[in-house]
Structure 1
């Protein structure tokens, strides 16, 4: 007669139920917290490091060539600053061209290897003025135009050489590629009939 097989009992290390539940809750909370932090980092808006003294009222074109959105608003502010100072339309266009070449018409809060302290639309270094002014689209344009206005004989120079004389870029011809774009943007902003409202600090 065959013997009955012995029943085999699995041997397992037992963890007290209370300790297991506690670890699960802690891990769940940590996981949820991590998800919340990641969502906040991804979705938070870019901070505006300096309150701007000028804003555009009215509807700008959706785009002008490769320029759009806040770039066109910044161009409108640069245009207004030059006209407020009584400069020529050529000077105003040079201002827009220069901001295109320096920052792609963005108020940037960083410099580069050549100028780690450069800031704003015109990538102006500390010697140009206070951080808050260099980071203000209108204020930085005024700084640029005042320096440009001191440049004698600028109407006899090529636009890129005028910008270079003010900015002291490594390449005096650096800005030439944006001269036509600057003209198109000025024309489009004027045609839009927007108003730039400036609030002094």
Structure 2
């Protein structure tokens, strides 16, 4: 007697559960978030925006590639601040205070914007409308001259801490606001003095 082979039993497909679908969707969303975050972290820093008004001084020659966290246009602006002080016959300490102040106000950038406290603030020193015309405040050299002229009116400034001198000029909310940049300012000025560059007046 022949025995008929048994037919293979069909395996019923399990219907997809809603939980499985939800997990798949959440997994894909998580992957998308990771990809977006990775692209943001790996994106190169935006190029520094040039000032929106013509500048009355430019830097020629070689500057240090970087001094601590300061580099590029920031060091160019610092060189202009230093030169403006030298041209006015300000002391070495005054010059270093000016660089420190510009670090604390704008990170050594000619900013075409203010903040909530001073929406009309502009330039390296974040000078408000009362300081002068927009074009002057947005000019690195000219705005430095404005700062030094105000600085020169501070009696007894050599007996004050650098941050207190800057505060007396800027009237910042915190008189110790600038202290954290004093060592950086000294390092930048020292590096600029050791470099082979010139600040050339164009106007």
Q: So what's the TM-score if we normalise by structure 1?
A: 0.76
Superposition deviation, residue 193 in structure 1: 2.4
Offset from partner CA, 1:73-93 (integer Å, 9 cap, x none): 000000000010000000000
Structure 2 residue matching 1:57: 3-state secondary structure: strand
Structure 1 residue matching 2:200: 3-state secondary structure: strand
Residue 171 of structure 1: aligned partner: 174
Superposition deviation, residue 120 in structure 1: 0.1
Q: Which whole-Å CA distance do the structure 2 matches of 1:180 and 1:46 have between them?
A: 26
Structure 2 residue matching 1:97: 3-state secondary structure: helix
RMSD: 1.5
Structure 2 residue matching 1:108: 3-state secondary structure: coil
Q: Which whole-Å CA distance do the structure 2 matches of 1:48 and 1:159 have between them?
A: 28
Residue 110 of structure 2: aligned partner: 107
Superposition deviation, residue 49 in structure 1: 1.4
Structure 2 residue matching 1:142: 3-state secondary structure: helix
Q: Which whole-Å CA distance do the structure 2 matches of 1:134 and 1:100 have between them?
A: 16
Deviation beyond 3 Å, 4+ runs, structure 1: 43-48
Residue 57 of structure 2: aligned partner: 54
Offset from partner CA, 1:116-162 (integer Å, 9 cap, x none): 00000000000000000000000000000000001110000000000
